Structure 1
């Protein structure tokens, strides 16, 4: 499938109005493996009592939800032509477990996360489906509006590298994925669930936000060639190459 980098513009739990109080970034490789980081926007006070919502780069990540796992394309529902997909997490910040899981073994009691996609006239994408509402703890209908970003500032195909930690379970389960100019990392370990978000701006990679053990996750070398399926050593631990193009 096509690689992508997307930000979310709004979330709606019908019949409530849409909200935009989270800074959400998703990266996905051609393999269908994705990393989805959602952090709270902070209110910043100014003279005169004015406020605005700060982006993640202005502080540490206050994670509202973070997942890494597999996207599976589904057949359209009968009578519809909108593409559909199912998202199956391998690690989930709402259900931390610090244990190694296979592709087909999501965290226990994971509710379904399935949606259909409609491209709007301005090019944004409306996703409709069902997932757990964290406010109620119940599965509910949702609507999300997404905007795809250019994958890279450079000409030519974007570099895609996705690593999965292997080996010592004491270090927890971790994933790091880079798609073009965007990189997300997540670790579910003994110290809790940690994340990092990095972006390349004007040719320089910068940490946008990070918390916990996510600060120790390695950045991926955009120049080195990796063979898919191989195991490499990086930042003191072993990693399996899920994808490298």
Structure 2
């Protein structure tokens, strides 16, 4: 499948009981991964747990039945690290997918083994998908920004990081034929509008892979686009 969207069902750290304290949406689109995890319980409710844009690929030992994937981060809401981001996957009898690996646990401030359970969202036939990247050649003044917009069906993410460390994000969902904002992060409203404009519901034929399109006040490169 060229694109899919998944929500996380649970995570178990270091063999402890599985919990879910985030609302997590991950979109995997033609070799790109856009990921936004928002705390929905505990002391950090309403803040970002983790968010990334990454190139995703299989590594040695991966099989169709049990993929092993790695994510090479392009932007990351957390500080950069040299540790690899990778996990092995297996499909459960109910269709959910488990992921086993090691990653940073913000509650213990340490890297720990984990088991995550994911559920892939049902997508209608011909659901659209795309990834856009902001044309960085336009950046003249102020902090440099890397910005991405992604869509799979009725789900969309906008994620951006500035050279001074600020992270901007939103999550949208289609309701009654219009985009509805689910989450938004970033104290600078004007910067959000500038670097993470909303996607149109429908795209024209000009939105083809490799083309540059105008969206909001900026130009965006179409990294991939299509329909299921």
For the aligned pair, the TM-score class normalised by the smaller chain equals: 0.7 to 0.9
- CA RMSD in angstroms comes to 2.3
Q: Provide, for residues 149-183 of structure 1, a one-character-per-residue CA deviation record: whole Å limited to 9, x for no partner.
A: 0124xxx3211111111221735111110111100
Q: Could you tell me which residue of structure 2 aligns to residue 12 of structure 1?
A: 12
Structure 1: give runs of 5+ residues left out of the alignment. 44-53, 55-60, 96-107
DSSP-derived class of the 1:26 partner: strand
Kept in 2, the 8 Å contact 1:75–1:83? The answer is: no
Q: Could you tell me which residue of structure 1 aligns to residue 81 of structure 2?
A: 109
Structure 2: give runs of 5+ residues left out of the alignment. none
How far apart, in 2, do the equivalents of 1:37 and 1:134 lie? 15
Instruction: Confirm whether residue 201 of structure 1 aligns to residue 182 of structure 2.
Output: no
**TM-score under structure 2 length normalisation:** 0.84
Deviation of 1:20 after TM superposition, in Å, equals 0.6
How far apart, in 1, do the equivalents of 2:217 and 2:224 lie? 20
Q: Could you tell me which residue of structure 1 aligns to residue 119 of structure 2?
A: 147
Q: Could you tell me which residue of structure 2 aligns to residue 74 of structure 1?
A: 59
Deviation of 1:115 after TM superposition, in Å, equals 0.8
DSSP-derived class of the 2:15 partner: coil
DSSP-derived class of the 2:181 partner: strand
Alignment of 1:52-63 (within 5 A): 61-63=46-48
DSSP-derived class of the 1:227 partner: coil
Alignment of 1:1-245 (within 5 A): 1-29=1-29, 31-42=30-41, 61-76=46-61, 82-95=66-79, 108-152=80-124, 156-166=125-135, 167=137, 168=139, 170-189=143-162, 190=164, 192-212=166-186, 215-216=192-193, 217-221=196-200, 222-225=202-205, 226-245=207-226
**TM-score under structure 1 length normalisation:** 0.79
How far apart, in 2, do the equivalents of 1:194 and 1:187 lie? 5
Deviation of 1:136 after TM superposition, in Å, equals 3.8
Q: Provide, for residues 43-98 of structure 1, a one-character-per-residue CA deviation record: whole Å limited to 9, x for no partner.
A: 7xxxxxxxxxx9xxxxxx511110011111124369x9621100111000002xxx
Matched length = 212
Q: Once superposed, which parts of structure 1, at least 4 consecutive aligned residues long, lie more than 4 Å away? A: none
Q: Provide, for residues 179-206 of structure 1, a one-character-per-residue CA deviation record: whole Å limited to 9, x for no partner.
A: 1110001111247101000001233220
Deviation of 1:34 after TM superposition, in Å, equals 1.1
